Amino acid sequence: MAQEYIKKAETLLEALPYMRTFQGQTVVIKYGGAAMQEPELKRAFAQDITLLQYLGIHPVVVHGGGPQIGKVLAKMDIPTRFVDGLRVTDEDTMDVVEMVLAGKINKEIVNLINTAGGAAVGLSGKDGLLLQAQKMEFYRPREDEPPEIIDIGLVGEVTAVNTHLIRTLQAQQFIPVIAPVGVGEAGETYNINADLVAGAVAAALGAAKLILLTDVPGVLDRDHRLVSSLTRRQAVTLMEEGVVAGGMIPKIKCCLEALDEGVAKAHILDGRTLHAVLLEIFTDTGIGTQIVG
């Protein structure tokens, strides 16, 4: 029994320097995948975020919701089409996206964190012009021809983040939980990729960390082994050599852009692991892949 208590004490001592380093710092977490759908993982995530707040760290949560949106669209017989992983968003689809993201999912996450003892406030990009956006211009490369321009509808990209609103909430000890819905100059509503929103928010806040929760262990090498740490140059090389492919490419690009904008470190980790956020921040080795400058 004594050994068990000693082990717990050692775990706390390992975490101590990280607690000291990140106290008062902002950490932006993109929340999605299995961590948003399995009850045990949802509760563990809420506990992680609450503990960060109690330790004097300022978490900001940006969430996705693709599978949930897909289910509601199917129930309403609204057809769904994707172009290179981006949901083509017409006005009917946008209504459902906003309803599911800014309504059902956002408030569920807020409730989970508050039930765990935290103090969360839900926001969409429309609140206080939190996420100003413009229509994303999508180009598909073609051999020996100019790129093909594809209209993917009301899909946007962030042009500005209202950091004053986030800072005001943080100063009052609230945890912002952000739905990735943006607003255009003329009041248009835009569906924005949650990874891109998390990266833009982290950059605007000068966050100490950007953490992307995924359904894979992290970045894998040629032998499918987890790479625990990468420099920017190494990350680019893995993409150029085709070692990293598919859905991991936009996540790495998102991390690299955040680093370019002043975020200290970016992390890609497996949200299917209980307490993944705490394990990544407060242990020497972490559980995912960190990308550093």
pLDDT, block means (10 residues), the chain with 293 residues: 79 87 96 91 97 96 94 93 85 95 96 98 97 90 77 94 98 97 96 96 97 94 92 93 87 94 95 94 91 89
Q: What is the CATH number of domain 25-225+248-268?
A: 3.40.1160.10
Q: Are 63 and 179 in contact (CB under 8 A)?
A: yes
Query: Closest by alpha carbon to 175, among 111, 255, 103, 131?
Result: 111
Q: What does the chain come to in residues?
A: 293
Task: Return contacts of 243-247, CB within 8 angstroms, 24+ apart.
Answer: 244/219, 244/220, 247/85
Beta-strand relationship, 209-214 and 145-150:
unpaired
Is the model's pTM score more than 0.95?
Answer: no
Single-letter residue type at 251: K
Q: Are 179 and 68 in contact (CB under 8 A)?
A: no
Single-letter residue type at 187: G
- Residue 42: its pLDDT value, please? 96
Torsion over CA: 10, 13, 18, 24 (sign): positive
Residue 125 has which token pair?
Answer: 């990009």
Per residue, the 3-state secondary structure of 115-165, as one string, reads HCCCCEEEEECCHHHCEEEEECCEEEEECCEEEEEECCECEEEEEEECHHH
- Residue 1: its pLDDT value, please? 66
**Phi, psi dihedral angles at 52 (to 5 degrees):** -55, -45
